[in-house]
Chains A and B, each alone.
Chain A
Amino acid sequence: MPKLLNKTHTHRRMNKYLKGIKNSDDEILQEIYANFYRPLRTFVENNRGTETDAKDVFQEALIAVYRRLRKGDFVISATFGTYFFSVGKYIWLKKIKDKMRVAVIESEADIDTETVEEALREEKKYELFRDGMTRLGNDCRRVLELFFARVTYKEIAARMNYTGEEYARRKKYLCTKKLMSAVKQDERFAEIYN
Chain B
Amino acid sequence: MKKDKNDRLQAYTDNEMTAAEKAAFAAELQADADLQNDRRLLRDMNRILGDAELVAFRKQATDLVDKETESHRAATPQTGKIMWLQRLTAAAAALILCLSLYFLLQPAPVDYTAVVQEYFVEYPRPTSRGPADRRSLIFDLYSNKNYAEAAPALEKFGNENKDSEALFFAGTAYLAANDAAAALAVLQDLDPPPTALAPQVFYYRGLAYLQRNDRENAVLQLEKVTESNPFLYRKAGELLQRLRK
Contacts and interface: CB of A to CB of B under 8 A. Distances in A.
B38 interface: yes
Nearest to B62: A59
Contacts of B196: 3
Interface residues on chain B, size class: 35 or more
A150 B54 CA distance: 15
B60 A7 contact: no
Contact of B181 (A40, A58, A126, A148): A40
Contacts of B226: none
B58 interface: yes
Nearest to A66: B57
A81 B185 contact: yes
A80 B69 CA distance: 23
B60 A29 contact: yes
B189 A79 contact: yes
B80 to A, nearest CB: 26
Among A81, A109, A169: residue with most chain B CB under 10 A: A81
A24 interface: yes
B181 A46 contact: yes
B61 A62 contact: yes
Interface residues of A, number: 60
Interface string A56-88: 001100110011001000000111111001000
Interface in A27-44: 29-30, 33, 35-37, 39-40, 42-43
B185 A2 contact: no
A109 B57 contact: no
A79 B167 CA distance: 11
Main secondary structure of the interface of B (DSSP, over half): helix
Interface in B202-232: 212
B65 A179 contact: no
B156 A35 contact: no
Contacts of B45: 129, 176, 179-180, 183
A110 B156 contact: yes
Contacts of A63: 54, 57-58, 61
Contact of B6 (A46, A129, A177): A177
B161 to A, nearest CB: 7
Contacts of B135: 2
Contacts of A138: none
Interface string B164-206: 1111000000000000111011101110101011000000000
B243 interface: no
B48 A122 contact: yes
A108 B151 CA distance: 11
Given A26-B60, A173-B10, A39 B185 contact: yes
Contacts of A67: 54
B162 A5 contact: yes
Nearest to B153: A108
B177 to A, nearest CB: 12
B192 A6 contact: yes
B162 A109 contact: no
A58 B135 CA distance: 33
A29 B67 CA distance: 12
B238 interface: no
A175 to B, nearest CB: 10
A7 B42 contact: no
A193 B45 CA distance: 13
A177 B163 CA distance: 57
Given A55-B65, A77-B160, A110-B159, A5 B37 contact: no
A73 B155 CA distance: 23
14 contacts: A2-B164, A2-B165, A3-B164, A7-B162, A29-B61, A33-B64, A59-B62, A67-B54, A70-B53, A89-B182, A108-B152, A148-B52, A150-B50, A176-B10
Given A29-B60, A58-B61, A80-B189, 12 more contacts: A3-B164, A29-B64, A30-B64, A33-B65, A33-B68, A35-B188, A55-B69, A82-B155, A149-B52, A177-B7, A179-B45, A180-B41
The 3 closest A-B pairs by CB, nearest first: A79-B189, A2-B163, A78-B159
